[in-house]
């Protein structure tokens, strides 16, 4: 009978995991600190997309929601944002989408997702008959793994109505 001796020091320590680094929020085109708005019309409980625009941090939608379209104005959008990082990848994602301030005439619905991308989870409807001014929004993201958490710089933008 043989005896096999295993030296416990011959095995290295398990690899350590670092918190995600360089977390960022990108738009559909891959631009850092930017989001894509899927703009359209919300009528009788149905959303009809008519186009997309990319809005950078600190940017505005310009006159996107002003021009008439088939006799009405664009009055709704969903958010499309994509999480990126370097180093050890996140195993979970925490997205946030909120209105900054309390502009009347804005209805905001947020979704929750633990995925790398935040696609069509946030939904905004603008009531042009009662909106009290331009509306400001914030998109946030935190990536987490066993090494810790890292927050991406927020993307803050304004919808001009």
- Is the predicted pLDDT of residue 38 greater than 90, yes or no? yes
What pTM was estimated for this model as a whole? Answer: 0.86
- Is the predicted pLDDT of residue 108 greater than 90, yes or no? yes
Mean pLDDT, to the nearest integer, of 94-105?
91
- Specify the 3-state DSSP secondary structure of 57: coil
What integer pLDDT is reported at residue 82 of this predicted model?
A: 97
**Which domains occur in the chain, in start order?**
18-159 (2.60.40)
- Look at 8-12, 63-67, 100-104, 114-118 and tell me which has the smallest mean pLDDT: 8-12
Is the separation of the CB atoms in 153 and 140 below 8 Å? no
What integer pLDDT is reported at residue 107 of this predicted model?
A: 93
Identify which of 25, 28, 48, 44 has the alpha carbon closest to the alpha carbon of residue 36. Answer: 28
- Which residues, other chains included, contact 111 with Cβ-Cβ below 8 Å and sequence gap of 6+? 97, 118, 120, 121, 122, 123
Is the separation of the CB atoms in 40 and 74 below 8 Å? yes
Mean pLDDT, to the nearest integer, of 95-104?
90
Q: Give the phi and the psi of residue 16 in degrees, each rounded to 5.
A: -85, 150
Cβ neighbourhood burial of 26 (10 Å; 0-12, 13-18, 19+)? buried
- Is the predicted pLDDT of residue 154 greater than 60, yes or no? yes
Is the separation of the CB atoms in 76 and 50 below 8 Å? no
User: Rounded to an integer, what distance in angstroms lies between the CA atom of residue 48 and that of residue 65?
Assistant: 14
């Amino acid at each position: 009978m043989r005896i096999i001796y295993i030296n416990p020091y011959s095995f290295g320590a398990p690899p350590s995991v670092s918190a995600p680094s360089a977390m960022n929020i990108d738009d559909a085109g891959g631009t850092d600190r930017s989001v894509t708005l899927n703009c359209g019309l919300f009528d009788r409980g149905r959303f009809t997309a008519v186009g997309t625009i990319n809005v950078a941090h600190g940017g505005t939608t310009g006159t996107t929601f002003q021009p008439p379209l088939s006799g009405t104005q664009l009055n709704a959008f969903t958010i499309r944002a994509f999480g990126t990082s370097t180093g050890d990848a996140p195993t979970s994602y925490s997205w946030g989408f909120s209105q900054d301030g309390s502009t009347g005439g804005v209805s905001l619905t947020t979704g929750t997702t633990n995925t790398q991308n935040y696609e069509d989870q946030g939904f905004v409807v603008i009531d042009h008959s009662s909106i009290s001014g331009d509306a400001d929004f914030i998109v946030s993201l935190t990536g987490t793994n066993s090494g810790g958490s890292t927050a991406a710089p927020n993307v803050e933008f304004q919808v001009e109505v």
